[in-house]
Amino acid sequence: MKVYTLDLSFLDIPQAIAAFLVEAGDTHILIETGPYSTIRQLEGSLQALGKSAAKLDAVLVTHIHLDHAGAAWYFAQKGIPVYMHPIGAPHMADPSKLLQSAQRIYGDQMERLWGTLKPIPEACLHTVSHGEELHIGNCRIKAWHTPGHAIHHVAWQIEDHLFTGDVAGVRIGGSLVVPPCPPPDIDVEAWDQSIEILRRQAPGQLLLTHFGAYTDVLPHLQELQERLHAWADWMRPHAETGRPAQEIVPLFQDFVHSQLRAAGLNEQQIARYEAANPSFMSVAGLLRYWKKKFEKQKTENQ
């Protein structure tokens, strides 16, 4: 089996978003599609390997966020089956709510960042249960439901390769591991459980959409878990006081960027992390996490 990491050059920034081509004999599977805004780069990368987008055997996406699955419809239109979590599938069949949510966040930058999103015919949509094993050509693939970053998240395992989407964090150039925490599904406790699921598989490699393959699996996951809790703890007092998100964003950016600078990253490298994992999104996600947690605690105490 061969695995190719395809750099999608998102916003002309290297190592921000990856897709992966798995080749097992005459079987070819694409894991992650990136946004439709990078489809030409993805097609060019496939062609450079002597492959055709139209001749893939399957597309697997870890979750339906646009930087991971925004171009999945393009492959479905070619008749290629697309596999995902059952909670995500209805939003790919009818992406209107997904588009509305993204439009609220990104406004007039929507097209530049993500491009077009079209419905996927239900005949091309396939869902997987937790622990299910798929047999696609010469590949056997295990699906692991791994919420925490997104409730509809799947990590895909082929042999000792674990394609982790966002549940194993963001790490660029072997530097810091950071947790992407956008709304609406951030759940620290569920994420802890998902990290333990990853550990139990004892993979030889974690393949991150943001960005690339890492073999120091246990230290990587430990760092992710510690930083996830550190970021959530940093946000808690701001959530308790009800401080507006727009006031918190620059403070949180300073907090995150100081960690990256302390690790030796320059401003260009920090910009890569921001492209892959915008700080302002983690503010919104972590504030929502604490709000839901406080509401649950209040209800339980009544």
The C-alpha atoms of residue 29 and residue 56 are separated, in whole angstroms, by 6
Query: Which residues make Cβ contacts (< 8 Å) with residue 57, sequence separation at least 6?
Result: 27, 28, 29, 80, 136, 137
Q: Which two tokens stand for residue 190?
A: 């569920």
pLDDT digits (tens, 9 = 90+) for 15-30: 999 999 999 999 999 9
pLDDT digits (tens, 9 = 90+) for 90-128: 999 999 999 888 888 888 899 999 999 999 999 999 999
What are the b/e assignments for 163-176, b being 16+ CB within 10 Å? bbbbbbbbbbeebb
pLDDT digits (tens, 9 = 90+) for 155-202: 999 999 999 999 999 999 999 999 999 999 999 999 999 999 999 999
Is beta strand 58-60 parallel, antiparallel or unpaired with respect to 82-84? parallel
pLDDT exceeding 90 applies to what percent of the chain? 92
Segments making up each domain of the chain, as ranges: 2-234
* DSSP assignment of 230-242: HHHHHHHHHHHHT
Q: What is the pTM of this model?
A: 0.96
Task: Answer whether 117's CB lies under 8 Å from 99's CB.
Answer: yes
HSE, side-chain direction, 13 A CA sphere, residue 16: 23
Average pLDDT over every residue of 206-211 = 98
> 30: which strand partners?
21, 59
Class of 2-234 in CATH: alpha beta
The C-alpha atoms of residue 274 and residue 8 are separated, in whole angstroms, by 16
pLDDT score of 104:
85
